[in-house]
Amino acid sequence: MKELLLSLASYNVWANQKLANSILLLTEEKQREEIPSSFKSLLATILHLWDAESIWWQRIKLNERVIIPSENFNGTMAEAVNGLLHQSLQWQEWVNNASEPALNHVVQYHNFKSEHYKQPVYQMLIHVYNHSTYHRGQLVNMLRQLGIQKIPQTDFIVYSRSKK
């Protein structure tokens, strides 16, 4: 289990960095341009990814009050990307140092609808990485809508091949 989770954590960092590098080459206007998708812009999508990774991080750390990074964010795309990458690296380090009991530990939390849940950490981790993959796909689509033609491949298999 741990080997798989560590592989996914490392992949998450790699894929986030690949897309971030492409997005940071764009003008601020393109980064904030409204595009039909789940979130209104590249920046809004990056902020959502950061929020989600941060919220789940705070849940496993048993924070009583969850702080959402985007709530008071007025920064640049570079600052949002740095926040996301920092959070992704924290996940990678945590998984690297986690014991099997820590990965199987059941965490209780409330979602934002005040619904109560109990789940093992490994399920939360799988969700975090799957969620990020989903929204990276949206970022790729948004880049295409902006006319960007050179978009890095971020498939897991591409990551795996690069590690040989």
Which residues on neighbouring strands pair with residue 117, listed in sequence order? 109
Average pLDDT across the chain, whole number: 95
Q: Which residues contact 86 (CB under 8 A, 6 or more apart)?
A: none
Residue keyed to tokens 């409330």: 110
Q: Tell me: the pLDDT tens digits for 57-86?
A: 999 999 988 999 999 999 999 999 999 999
Where in the chain are the domains? 2-67+77-162
User: For 2-67+77-162, which CATH superfamily applies?
Assistant: dinb family like domain (1.20.120.450)
The whole model's pTM is what? Answer: 0.94
Q: What is the pLDDT of residue 64?
A: 84
